[in-house]
Structures are given as C-alpha cells and as structure tokens.
Structure 1
Amino acid sequence: MTLQDSTGHPVEGAKAKLRVDQDISDGSGHISGSVDLGSCHSDITFRHTEYSLGYKNIWDTDLIYGVWRLEIPNTGNLDLGIGGNNVEYVVLGHLCDQKLVSSNPS
C-alpha cells in the first residue's frame, strides 16, 4: 500500500489498519505487510460480465463481503482518509472462487 495526499505526494507517519494488523508508513508513503485471511467459504455468488479482447466472458464469483475493513484514521494534524471523499474506512470483500461460465466472441 502506498499512502499519498491528494496531490500524489507520499504521507509519512500515517497509520493504516487492516482488521487488527497495523503498520506506519515510511518517508516514501509505503506500508507493507501480510494478512492471513484463512480459508474462504461463501454463501454469496454473483454473476458478472466482462468484455475482453473481443470476447464476452460470463463469470460466477463466490465472495465474503464486509468482513474486513481498511482504515486510515485521522491522527494528529494529518487530515487523512481514503479516496476522493476522504472517508475514514472502506469495507473489503474476499473473492473465494471465480468460475468462467462462458466465453463467446462479442
């Protein structure tokens, strides 16, 4: 992850939190680490269409949604957040499995 301000400059000293794991960005705005999300068992499947290289591809995707949050808390004099609306957190989904249902020339 790289933390940048709205002009694209790195933000040093900002905190990022994915669930319970936390790191602090360095002078170049970088944060790195790993999280073990464990095995994935989903009751939610959605079908979506993708157009790529002249083909219409239909996929079924199993996912877990809303179990993890990425947080960039506002600390000290740093006015931080995620995205254009500068929100404090976003909810993430975990893609468990994807199956190609069909692929046909479009």
Structure 2
Amino acid sequence: MGRKQKNIIETNKPFSLRVIYAGGGMYEVVFAYQEIKLYQPLSNEQYREYRKLCYLYPVRAKNYLLDFINFEGTPYKRSDFEFLGKDKEPTKEMITLWQEIEKGL
C-alpha cells in the first residue's frame, strides 16, 4: 500500500451528522463518532441557513453544521472531520425551487 493511500485510510473517519428539532423553534446538531455523541444547539436562523445550503450547496451545508460542534473534552478537533467534495454552482431551477421552499418555512 502506498504512503498516500495509507494516510487517506488513517485519516478517513466515518461519522454521523444530523439535525433534529428540539422544540420551541430550536434545533440540535447531533454528531456521532465511535463512542462519542455531541449535541449542539442551532437557532431557527442557523437552521434556515443550513436548509438553504442543503439545496444550493450540499457539501458546504454539512461542513457548516460541523463548524457548530464543540469538540472540547474529546480527543478530537474540528479539523479532524471534513466532508469532502466540491459543490457546483446551483442552477436557476434549484434557486427557484429553494425560493418556493423558503416561502413554506
């Protein structure tokens, strides 16, 4: 196995990241990796920004959520986790779709 491939395998950490509704107009980002589960509050405004990014820039949306996670007290830091990929610029159709969805939020 080449050095480059070995480094990729060593640094590739499968983790779970999702948003749940916590009630009262608040949401929580839930991060899970191995035995660690972290919860971070997300305001309604932050949630709306996340939803917008989901439709227009999906990779950026997931990294946006990761930015809210506080890794203090764990052996990890934010830079240990990253969604890879590159978002394409949204099409006019996607922008129009988001504008319709936003009206319903």
TM-score by length of 1: 0.21
| Higher share of residues assigned helix | 2
Q: Which structure would you say has the larger Rg? A: 1
TM-score by length of 2: 0.21
Bigger relative contact order (CA 8 A; separation at least 6):
1
